[in-house]
Amino acid sequence: MTKHKLIFLILSCIWMVVIFYFSARDADESEDDSYRVGLAVGRVFVPDFESMSEDAQLEFAESIDHPVRKCAHATEYAILGMFLVGVFYPVKKRSKSNIIYPLVCCVLYAATDEIHQLFVPGRSGQLFDVLIDGAGALVGILVIIFILERIKMHK
């Protein structure tokens, strides 16, 4: 294994620990995180958000809680997919395995992560979340491969 691939393997493992950490948080902690993100989104994108009552701000955060959680799933796995491309991506030849190996690893990890959530108080394992994670991973993988291919073209 090259030094480059080893670095990306270490980054992938660290990111898997980060994902595990977030999945290990109980339902109340996870909900608080989502609400904080929802409030931040409101501050950035909703005109006069700061002048709204605290209850109205919380109501807004609650209204976007589900999309925030699903975007977090997709983003976590897009990043993991990008790191795993660094592990599997060959420097010289194009191949479908450049996409398949990182994607399979991401989906398998997503499935084990959802099983893990079955044992976390207030959390549940969802097949739909595995699909969202896989879709996020695929987007991340395709983006980084596109960038790598463009870099190769300019060399």
Question: Quick one: how far is CA 121 from the chain centroid?
Answer: 22
At residue 87, the pLDDT reads 94
108 pLDDT higher than 90: yes
- Band (96; pLDDT cuts 50, 70, 90): confident
At residue 49, the pLDDT reads 95
Residues 6+ apart with CB under 8 A from 135: 74
- Distance of alpha carbon 103 from alpha carbon 83, whole angstroms: 11
DSSP conformation class of 91: S
33 pLDDT higher than 80: yes
The predicted model scores a pTM of 0.90
At residue 91, the pLDDT reads 61
Residue 17's closest CA among 92, 86, 80, 104? 80
Residues 41-72 have pLDDT tens digits of 999 999 999 999 999 999 999 999 999 999 99
